[in-house]
Amino acid sequence: MWTWLHKLGSPQRFYSLSGRLIPWFAVLSVLLMAAGLYGGLVLAPPDYQQGDSYRIIYIHVPAAWMSMFVYVSMAFAAAVGMIWRIKVADMVARASAPLGASFTFLALVTGSLWGKPMWGAWWVWDARLTSELLLLFLYIGFMALQSAFDDRRTAARAGAVLALVGLVNIPIIHYSVEWWNTLHQGPTVTKFDAPSIHLSMLIPLLLMAFGFMCYHAAMVLVRARNELIEWERNSRWLQNLITE
């Protein structure tokens, strides 16, 4: 595994591989999200309590899942870059932060839009909402640290420390509805022994989640390639590639 990671950590190899993967992830994201939205907005029946207002879950829930997934993957990439000094891992971590912040912001906004008719308020200092808001601040802090240092290596190490410390917030977000008495509903999709969501609603939700994941993969590779070009602009292999 580590040999594979070091090979992938070669800037030239990463640039070539990511260029081939981006179109596949982009097409998959469009197809999955189109199918998920059609299934969720057209085919899925109204909820017996919430009516059609529940359909915001097809944006809110995948965005919330991705906010945590991206943070964990960002922290992992930052740790790999810090421990093994792999520049590509630092670039992936740096490229992931704005995407993760966008997913987190989208989850908070759509949650507020959903919470107003359900709870009668746009915002409450609920455990799940508060910990998700803290996640947004962690993303912003990571990006601020990356911009605070002129030396990219120093910036990457400082960001990695913050990202790793912030990992403690991920299980708090996930288990907050079980640990505390909150307004936010409990787990539904993850209750595989007795799921609380009908299959006709679940399948479009999972399609949207996979679509979001493919979108993230495509965008993080695009952003990482741009970072790579900036970092390696004076390297011989990149100059040869431009010449060709």
C-alpha to C-alpha distances, 12 to 3, 50, 65, 238, nearest whole angstrom = 16, 52, 32, 8
9 occurs within a structural domain: no
227 occurs within a structural domain: yes
Nearest of 28, 53, 72, 83 to residue 208 by alpha carbon: 28
- 119 Cβ contact partners less than 8 Å away, ≥ 6 residues apart: 183
Buried b / exposed e along 202-230 (16+ C-beta atoms within 10 A):
bbbbebbbbbbbbbbbbbbbbbbbebbee
What is the number of structural domains in the chain? 1
11 occurs within a structural domain: no
Cα–Cα distance measured from residue 123 to residue 135, given in angstroms and rounded to the nearest whole number: 16
Nearest of 134, 211, 142, 125 to residue 170 by alpha carbon: 134
**pLDDT, tens digit only, all 244 positions of the chain:** 556 556 667 888 999 999 999 999 999 999 999 999 999 999 999 988 888 989 999 999 999 999 999 999 999 999 999 998 899 999 999 999 999 999 999 999 999 998 888 888 888 888 889 999 999 999 999 999 999 999 999 999 999 999 999 999 999 988 887 776 665 665 666 554 555 688 899 999 999 999 999 999 999 999 999 999 888 887 888 788 777 6
208 occurs within a structural domain: no
78 occurs within a structural domain: yes
Residue 71 near residue 168, CB atoms below 8 Å: no
C-alpha to C-alpha distances, 75 to 54, 138, 139, 163, 178, nearest whole angstrom = 32, 11, 11, 5, 25
User: What is the extent of the structural domain holding 167?
Assistant: 16-199+218-243
